[in-house]
Structures are given as C-alpha cells and as structure tokens.
Amino acid sequence: MFRKIKQIIDGGNKFLITTHIDPDGDAIGSCFSLYWALDGLQKNPFVYMRDRVPYMYEFLPKPTQLFYNEPPDGTYDGIFILDCGNFFRVGNGHERLKSQGPIINIDHHATSEKFGIINIINQNSSSTGEILYNIYDALMIPISYNIAVNLYTAIFTDTGSFRYPNTNSEAFLICEKMTKFGVSPAHVAQMVYENHPKERFVLLGEVLSSLETYENDTIALAVVTKEMFHKTNTAKEYTEGFVEFIKEIRGVNVAILMKELSDNQYKISMRSKGDTDVALICNHFGGGGHRNAAGCTINGSIIQIKDRLKEALTKP
Ligand code: AMP
Ligand code: MN
Ligand code: MN
C-alpha cells in the first residue's frame, strides 16, 4: 500500500517536511516524528513550519534542521506535507514548493485536497500521527523514543486526550505501543495541559466575559480581541484549548471562538459534539476541517460575523 512512499524514501536522500500554519499537536508531532524517522535512516531531513512551535509543545524532541517563516531554498527528493488539508495552509512560499520536489500529502481531514503527487488521505484515521505510524510499520522503520513521543503527542492531542469521536482503537493501540518505547503518558499530559503561563488564565477571564449563548444555550461563542492580548501581555498561542473549554457547557452542541487577526478580520474556530458537522459550515466560509473541529477566516465586524454565523448554524 505504501509502495510509492517506500520508493521515494529509499531512492532519495534530502527531504523537506512541512505542515499547516498555526501548527497543533498533530501537525508538530507528525513533522517531528517523520524527521526522526528519516534521520534514523541516515537521510537528510529538513522541517519547515510557517509559525513557531507553541510553548506547550516545546518539550518535544525538536529537529536540528528546523526552519520558520519561509521554506528553505533548494530541491528535495520528496516534500512531505502533513496534516494539511488545503495547500494554501502551508503558508508563505507554498506555491514555490511544487517546483522544489515531488509532494507527498499525508492527511486525515474530511475536506482534504489532493494536491500531492502521492496523496495518502484517510478520514477515518484519528490523526496524521496514526497514518504515519502505519507507514513506519509497513516500511519497518525502527521506532526510537524521539519518534514515539512525537507520535504519541500527535494522537493524544488530536483526539482531545481520547475524548473526541475520532478516537478509535488504533489510537489506543499505537499510544500503548509508544509507552513501550519509553513515553510517559503523565509527562506528556502535564507538559501539554498543565504547563501554562499565568497570563493565559488572565486572558481566559477576559475571553469568558465575552461569552454568549444562542438557540437555547446550544451554541456558545466567545471573542478574543487584539486589545485583550495587549492588555494581558499574551499572544495567539495562549488561546489553545479555549474553544474546547466553552464546549464543556452542558447542552452546547457548537462552540465558537472568534479571534481578531486584524481590523475586521477574524479567525473562527468551531468545535461540535455528536453529529453536528462544523466542517460543512466552515467550508461555506472558505475554510474546512473535520466534522467536530473546523475553522475559517471571515471578514467583517464582530456583530456582522456573529449574525452570519448564527444564520449559517440555524438555517435548515
Ligand atoms: P483550529 O480551529 O484552527 O484549531 O482548526 C480546527 C480544524 O480545522 C483543524 O483540523 C484545521 O486544520 C482546520 N482548519 C482551521 N482553519 C482552517 C481554514 N481556514 N481552512 C481549512 N481548514 C481549517
Ligand atoms: Mn492539525
Ligand atoms: Mn490532525
């Protein structure tokens, strides 16, 4: 099944690995695990991410060749794009990548575009980390601690600690295997979820004061403005987990976090419980994602965007 990938890896020496902007645990864990897998095969891998690693993932064993802002120049024997459903979400310089080497797209988004020469897309996989494990297994790539802790974190965070509906038996099986390679579940959980700077909670207080609910408390919405970041001396990465937090309200089916990017432009994060498909709604606004976790960017004032979201969520 992974014959073509095997040919590319066996036949090449220099590889680029990249993912989506605003990388999450799956994006980072997947890129870093593949870096260590290729490094172990005596290949020459490079990782590019448009945005920096958020503080909660800084404990992960990092590539020595890690580039930010712009993809490094040169040509590659393979360019792995991981956990990234839309080509543009690689960020700056993504167009240039097509002339820098064959693109291998490995992803699990429902709205994934087939932009690679090879596309391994499995919507039924919990995470991109899960697909990568299957590739390592098929290619008999030895698992080191550095691979294991990155893979574990990819699966652990993308399943919301095995709580979201994408949690499947493979997620448990692979994570259990990773503990055999030295991964401590308690250590990963503590680093990811219990290692926040105090400022994050000051920001959370501000954000919660904007909380509104609609449709008999089935939709919850909160806003993060640039002013709040400024006032609390925080940045975008401090909001990780906020949308999941307001989803914890009883009866809420859809939770929305609106993050101000610039004047009249907001990044929307949506999460849902059960069958409500937020990927469909975000797709309507030019974004995408999964049934229970999706995002998009919308232009307009806070009030205009709230109205458009309410309309999209309530129309039959
Ligand atoms: P986020 O709310 O940014 O954590 O994203 C939730 C999910 O939706 C992730 O799987 C993202 O990859 C996806 N997603 C977020 N924003 C966009 C977008 N603008 N276009 C396509 N997919 C997105
Ligand atoms: Mn992701
Ligand atoms: Mn993912």
Sorted by where each begins, the domain ranges of the chain are 2-193, 198-314
CA-nearest of 146, 130, 183 to 39 is 146
pLDDT at 315: 82
Please give the DSSP secondary-structure letter assigned to residue 90: G
Q: Alpha carbon of 233 to those of 54, 180, 197, 198: distances in Å?
A: 15, 40, 11, 11
CATH for 2-193 is: 3.90.1640.10
Burial (Cβ within 10 Å: 0-12, 13-18, ≥19) of residue 250: exposed
Among protein residues, the one whose CA lies closest to atom 14 of ligand 1: 295
Return the pLDDT at 208: 98
- 27 by Cβ neighbours in 10 Å (0-12 / 13-18 / 19+) ranks as buried
- Both tokens of 229, joined, read 């970041």
316: pLDDT strictly greater than 90 = no
Per-residue confidence (pLDDT) for residue 311, from 0 to 100: 97
User: 212-232: per-residue pLDDT in tens?
Assistant: 999 999 999 999 999 999 999
Q: Which residues line ligand 1 (CB under 6 A)?
A: 20, 22, 24, 85-86, 89, 109, 269, 287-290, 293-297
Structural fold of domain 198-314: Diaminopimelate Epimerase; Chain A, domain 1 (3.10.310)
Q: Measure the CA angle with vertex 278, ends 19 and 105; round to 5°.
A: 25
Ligand at shortest distance from the CA of 24: 2
* Strand partners for 265: 262, 299
Structure tokens at 222: 């909160």
Q: Which atom of ligand 1 is nearest to the CA of 24?
A: 4
Mutate to test the pocket of ligand 1, among 56, 105, 109, 113 (most ligand atoms within 8 A of CB): 109
Residues in the 5 Å CB sphere of ion ligand 2? 24, 26-27, 83
Beta-strand relationship, 288-289 and 293-299? antiparallel
Alpha-helical runs (H) found in the chain: 3-11, 25-40, 94-97, 128-138, 145-158, 169-180, 185-193, 198-208, 226-232, 242-247, 278-284, 302-314
- Closest-CA residue, ligand 1 atom 22, reads 288
Instruction: Give the 3-state secondary structure of residue 167.
Output: coil
Residue 155 pLDDT exceeds 80: yes
What pLDDT is stored for residue 299 in this prediction? Answer: 98
Contact residues for 247 (Cβ-Cβ < 8 A; gap 6+): 220, 255, 271, 272, 273
> pTM value?
0.94
Atom of ligand 1 nearest to the CA of 22: 3
Ligand at minimal distance from the CA of 269 is 1
Q: 244-283: per-residue pLDDT in tens?
A: 999 999 999 999 999 999 999 999 999 999 999 999 999 9
Query: Any idea which ligand is nearest the CA of 107?
Result: 3
Q: Residue 13's pLDDT is what? A: 98
Task: Return the percent helix, strand and coil in the chain, to nearest 5.
Answer: 40, 20, 40
Confidence bin at 302 (pLDDT 50/70/90): very high
Q: What is the mean pLDDT of the chain?
A: 97
How many Cα neighbours within 13 Å face the side chain of 73? 0
Instruction: Give the integer Cα–Cα distance in Å for 234 and 237.
Output: 8
- CA 85-52-184 angle, to 5 degrees, is 85
Burial of 12 (0-12, 13-18, 19+ CB in 10 A): middle
Taking the alpha carbons at both ends of the chain, their separation in whole angstroms is 41
